[in-house]
Amino acid sequence: MTDRKTLQTEKISGHSGPSPGLGMQRDFEVCKLVDTTTCIGCKACEVACVEWNDMPFGMTTFDNTYQTMPETRWNFWNLIKFNEHQREDGTIQWLMRKDQCMHCADPGCMAACPADGAIVKYTNGIVDFNQENCIGCEFCVSGCPFNIPRFNPGTKKVYKCTLCSDRVGEGLEPACIKACPTGCLKFGSKDDMKFIANERARQLKENFGMENAGVYDPQSVGGTHVIYVLHDATDPERYGGLPKNPTIPWSYTVWKWLFKPVLGAFALFGGLGVLMHYVSVGPRRPQPEPPEKEAANGNGD
Amino acid sequence: MGTAIDRFDEKARQTFDSIGRTEVYRGELLRHSVYTRLLHWAVALFFFLALFTGFGIYLPWLFRWFTPVFGGGALSRILHPYFGVAFVFFFFFQMLNWLTPMIWCDGDSKWMRNIRRIAASQEKLEPPDTGFFNAGQKAMFWEIVAGCIVYLITGIILWAGARSFGATAVAISYVLHDLSAIIMLGGIFIHIYLSTIGEPGTFQAMTRGAVSEAWAWTFHPAWYKKVTGRDPREDYEKARQQQNTTPKANSNPN
């Protein structure tokens, strides 16, 4: 991405000084902005996701809601969660949230994954699964604070939203963004999306009386590359399991970067230790041992 | 232990003795029956299969050259739990088989306190109260029993995954499962060393099933006394004297 040649103007004729616009190309972290306040639950993004990623058709589940299925699946990465929230005055608020991988800056799946190169994080912030290196241990499932990675029992590999890394790499926006009819989904640099999200939250507070409106960009996982504008940012849980303070189990970090190498070396030294014992102390033989001279022509051990 | 278990073990030993043979020559003692030996090698086989497939899951980057033996990381991951279950399955019968001789006694605590002298080979003969198994063997046995329980519980959690048991359970199991494996791996180095080059004459106990009397009075004097009815120290002194007087006529049985 960074060294891609662009049609950006470097020099122009008859112009002194640097050419206008030179250096405007930035290396930036990408971000998807989901404005839950303007989502209408049309599920166009769901269809676009299945379509672009060429997913096999899967049965939907009807459980008396508008929700396509209870949770995302290995072949269904993008799900609008429909949640009914009762306000204090008894009225119902219908909350729709697009659920997908959050592309954390500090990904829990990556902390848990033991396989070499099965999970990659690109410099633009996208966290992607590389199925050819996946060993199917499903540790990422337990490492993810958002309950996103899904195991495919057929291929024994884990799958999730790629933030359309294949499209983004070509300078396109993710499929879900392209399909969104209301503009509640936006895609751009993290800085820009944060700016827009904060502006929108301010607008909601000032013009719509939503004094708790805010942006969901949890810093406990270093921020995410999918951020939400919420009607009430003080209680993200009501949007269908959006954790207020997502964390990665500490055991993964400690175990993987401290215990594993240290104890692995310790086990290896166990092997060296017995060899050292053989060299320094020597074997214990059944007693009485044959005398030295006898050992040479006896049936010694 | 319970008589039902004893009866079961006795029946199993008889059944397998009719299938396999154990030849005990003059100057030798029967150490392990066919049943015990078969269990031991079944446990060993599946231990190493589980260990080697586990390597690919434990540190894939380090064992990348090795995992193709089992068809790659993904297949290692599929096979590992089955090997593990087989290991626990066979060890379960070995545990029943050895429950009685593995009971910890006062002499074992003494042995453990004395472990430095024993490891340094300062005592050529085991203390006279060392029975069929010494305290080191018992410690390893009970470590494997504990390890198997840990493996089984954490292994099932890891096998079914976070979707069934929750992320916290998996995160804890992952650590305990690996810790148990590391301890057992350390133990297996010592086990293999002592049963082969570390204490010559031991390995045949698990292959042919018989050991020399000299081996028995050296390493397991109380057991020697129990099966032969003779005093191990006396027989040792006798053998030593015989060796000194007629060194050529009587070569060491070992």
Three-class DSSP labels, A67-96: CCCCCCECCECCEEEEEEEECCCCCEEEEE
CA of A277 vs chain B CAs: smallest distance (Å): 8
Rounded mean pLDDT, A190-213: 94
| A172-194 per-position pLDDT tens digit | 899 999 999 999 999 999 999 99
pLDDT band at B162 (very low <50, low <70, confident <90, very high): confident
Which of A74, A278, A285 to probe by mutation at the B interface, max B CB count within 10 Å? A285
Dist. CA B79–CA B69, nearest whole Å: 12
- CB-CB under 8 Å, A287 with B240: yes
In a domain, B71, yes or no: yes
Strand-pair category, A79-86 with A92-99: antiparallel
Percentage of residues in chain A having pLDDT higher than 90:
58
Which of A133, A138, A301 shows the shortest C-beta gap to B200?
A: A301
Dist. CA B177–CA B160, nearest whole Å: 14
| A96-113 per-position pLDDT tens digit | 999 999 999 999 999 989
pLDDT band at A300 (very low <50, low <70, confident <90, very high): very low
More confident residue, A294 or A262: A262
Q: What is the DSSP string of chain A?
A: -TT---------TT--SSPTTTT------EEEEEETTT-----HHHHHHHHHTTPPP-----SSSS-SSSS-BTTB--EEEEEEEE-TTS-EEEEEEEE----BSS-HHHHH--STTSEEE-TTS-EEE-GGG-----HHHHH-TT---EEETTTTEEE---TTHHHHTTTPPPHHHHH-SSS-EEEEEHHHHHHHHHHHHHHHHHHH--TT-EEE--GGGT-BSEEEEES-TT-GGGGTS--SS----HHHHHIIIIIHHHHHHHHHHHHHHHHHHHHHT----PSSPPPHHHHHHS---
CA of A262 vs chain B CAs: smallest distance (Å): 11
Taking CA–CA distances from A286, the nearest residue in chain B reads B215
Q: Is the pLDDT of residue A283 over 70?
A: yes
Q: Is the pLDDT of residue A27 over 80?
A: no
The answer to whether residue A263 neighbours chain B at the CB level (below 8 Å) is yes
In a domain, B253, yes or no: no
The answer to whether residue A277 neighbours chain B at the CB level (below 8 Å) is yes
Which of A115, A255, A291 shows the shortest C-beta gap to B243?
A: A291
Which of B66, B79, B116, B170 to probe by mutation at the A interface, max A CB count within 10 Å? B170
CA of B35 vs chain A CAs: smallest distance (Å): 26
SS3 (DSSP) at B201: coil
| B54-100 per-position pLDDT tens digit | 988 888 888 888 889 998 888 999 999 999 999 999 999 999 999 99
Q: Is the pLDDT of residue A293 over 60?
A: no
- CB-CB under 8 Å, A288 with B251: no
Would you state the pLDDT for residue B247? 53
SS3 (DSSP) at B225: helix
Dist. CA B37–CA B44, nearest whole Å: 10
Dist. CA A149–CA A143, nearest whole Å: 9
Taking CA–CA distances from B159, the nearest residue in chain A reads A137
In a domain, B98, yes or no: yes
Count structural domains, chain B.
Answer: 1
Dist. CA B173–CA A138, nearest whole Å: 13
Taking CA–CA distances from B170, the nearest residue in chain A reads A142
Q: Is the pLDDT of residue B205 over 50?
A: yes
SS3 (DSSP) at B106: helix
In a domain, B251, yes or no: no
pLDDT band at A1 (very low <50, low <70, confident <90, very high): very low
Percentage of residues in chain B having pLDDT higher than 70:
96
Q: Give, for B207, the enclosing helix (H) or strand (E).
A: helix B204-207
Q: Are the C-beta atoms of residues A208 and A93 closer than 8 Å to each other?
A: no
Classify burial at A267, counting beta carbons within 10 Å of its beta carbon; exposed 0-12, middle 13-18, buried 19 or more: middle
CA of B64 vs chain A CAs: smallest distance (Å): 9
CATH for the stretch A30-248: 3.30.70.20
- CB-CB under 8 Å, B243 with A259: no
Residue A30, phi then psi, degrees to nearest 5: -85, 165
| A242-259 per-position pLDDT tens digit | 999 999 888 888 888 777
CA of A83 vs chain B CAs: smallest distance (Å): 22
Dist. CA A280–CA A257, nearest whole Å: 34
Q: A129 has which bridge partners?
A: A119
Contacts of residue A266 in chain B, CB cutoff 8 Å? Answer: 182, 186
Q: Are the C-beta atoms of residues A37 and A231 closer than 8 Å to each other?
A: yes
Q: What is the mean pLDDT of chain A?
A: 87
What is the domain extent for residue B173? Answer: 3-245
- CB-CB under 8 Å, B218 with A287: yes
In a domain, B254, yes or no: no
Would you state the pLDDT for residue B61? 80
Would you state the pLDDT for residue B206? 94
Q: What is the ipTM of this complex?
A: 0.78
Q: Is the pLDDT of residue B141 over 80?
A: yes
Can you give the CATH number for the domain in which B24 is found?
1.20.950.20
Q: Is the pLDDT of residue A48 over 80?
A: yes
Would you state the pLDDT for residue A22? 67
Would you state the pLDDT for residue A20? 67
**Spatial CA neighbour of A252 closest among A128, A105, A139, A138:** A139
Would you state the pLDDT for residue B196? 92
Rounded mean pLDDT, A187-215: 94
Would you state the pLDDT for residue A36? 95
Q: Is the pLDDT of residue B52 over 60?
A: yes
Rounded mean pLDDT, B222-239: 92
SS3 (DSSP) at B129: coil
Tokens of B218: 């050296």
